Chains A and B, each alone.
Chain A
Amino acid sequence: MTTHNGEQRWQAVSLDLSRGVPELSCEPGYDGMRVVFFWKRIPLGHCQLASAQLPLDRSQVAAVAAQSISTAAGDYIFEDGFRSALPGSPPPAIEDPVATLEALLSVERPIARLAMNLPVVGPKPRQRLTVAVCTHERPQELERCLTSIVASAEPPDEILVIDNAPQTNDTYDVVARFPSVRYCYEPQPGLSAARNSAMAAAHCELIAFTDDDVVVHPDWTARLRRCFEDPTVMVVTGLVLPAELETQAQQIFENDFHFFHQGYRRRYFDADYLTAARRRSAPVWEIGAGANMAIRRRAFDLGYRFDTRLGPGVFGGCGEDSEFWYQILVDGWSCLYEPSGCVFHYHRRDVPALRNVVTQYMRGHVAALIIQFRKYGHFANLRRLVWELPAEYIILFLRSITCGFPLGRRIMLRGWFGSFSGLRAAFFRGRSEIPAE
Chain B
Amino acid sequence: MPTKSCQRYEILQIDLSRPLEPLTVPPNACGVAFVIRADDRPVAYFMEALPAGTTIEPEALASKILEHAGKQILADRIFKELRGPLDASRFPRLDIAICTHNRPETLARCLSSLRDVGARWESGRTRVLVIDNAPSDNRTEEVVRNFAGVVYVREPKPGLDFARNRALAECTGDLLAFLDDDVVVDRCWLTGLQEAWAANPDAGAFTGPILPFELETKAQIVFEQMGGFGKSFERVRFGARLPESPTYPCGAGIFGAGANMVFSRAALERLGGFDEALDTGAPLPGGGDLDIFYRIVLAGYPLVRESNLVVYHQHRREYKQLRHQMWTWGLGTMAYLVKCWRQNPAERASIRCWTVWWLCYQLSKISIPHLRKSGGRWPIDMVIAELAGAVVGICGQYDRSVARIARLRRRFA
Contact = CB atoms under 8 A, between A and B. Distances in A.
Interface of A: 17, 21, 32, 48-54, 56, 58-60, 62-67, 69-71, 73-74, 81-82, 93-94, 96-98, 100-101, 104-105, 107-112, 255, 402-404, 406
A101 B82 contact: no
19 contacts: A17-B82, A52-B241, A53-B241, A59-B84, A60-B199, A60-B237, A63-B79, A64-B237, A65-B78, A70-B71, A82-B70, A97-B66, A101-B66, A104-B70, A111-B81, A255-B244, A402-B357, A404-B349, A404-B353
Nearest to A94: B63
The dominant DSSP class at the B interface is helix
Given A17-B82, A98-B62, A100-B62, A48 B244 contact: yes
B302 interface: yes
A98 B77 contact: no
Interface in B59-100: 59-60, 62-63, 65-66, 70-79, 81-84, 86
A50 B59 contact: no
A39 to B, nearest CB: 10
Contacts of A59: 83-84, 86, 198-199
Contacts of A54: 239
A48 B82 contact: no
Which 9 pairs across A and B sit closest by C-beta, in order of nearness?
A53-B239, A66-B79, A97-B62, A97-B63, A62-B82, A70-B75, A52-B240, A48-B243, A50-B241
A111 B78 contact: yes
B242 interface: yes
A96 B60 CA distance: 10
B235 A67 contact: yes
Nearest to B16: A105
A350 B70 CA distance: 42
A36 to B, nearest CB: 14
Interface string B350-375: 00010011001000000000000000
A196 to B, nearest CB: 39
A181 to B, nearest CB: 39
B294 to A, nearest CB: 14
Given A52-B300, A62-B79, 17 more contacts: A32-B243, A53-B237, A53-B238, A53-B239, A53-B241, A56-B237, A59-B84, A67-B75, A67-B234, A69-B78, A94-B63, A97-B60, A101-B16, A105-B38, A105-B73, A402-B356, A404-B246
Given A50-B243, A65-B82, A403-B246, A110 B77 contact: yes
Contact of B74 (A73, A98, A255): A73
Given A50-B241, A53-B237, A70-B78, A98 B20 contact: yes
B239 A104 contact: no
Contacts of B72: 70
Interface of B: 16-17, 20, 38, 58-60, 62-63, 65-66, 70-79, 81-84, 86, 198-200, 234-244, 246, 300, 302, 349, 353, 356-357, 360
B240 A81 contact: no
B180 to A, nearest CB: 27
Contacts of A58: 83
A255 B38 CA distance: 34
A59 B82 CA distance: 8
B296 to A, nearest CB: 13
A52 B82 contact: no
Given A59-B83, A107-B77, A403-B357, A71 B71 contact: yes
Contacts of B357: 402-403
Nearest to A70: B75
Which of the listed residues A50, A101, A105, A111 has the most CB atoms from chain B within 10 Å of its own CB?
A101
Nearest to B356: A402
A53 to B, nearest CB: 3
A196 B79 CA distance: 47
A195 B83 CA distance: 47
Contacts of B17: 105
A58 B200 CA distance: 10
B76 A66 contact: yes
B208 to A, nearest CB: 14
A74 B70 contact: yes
A109 B77 contact: yes
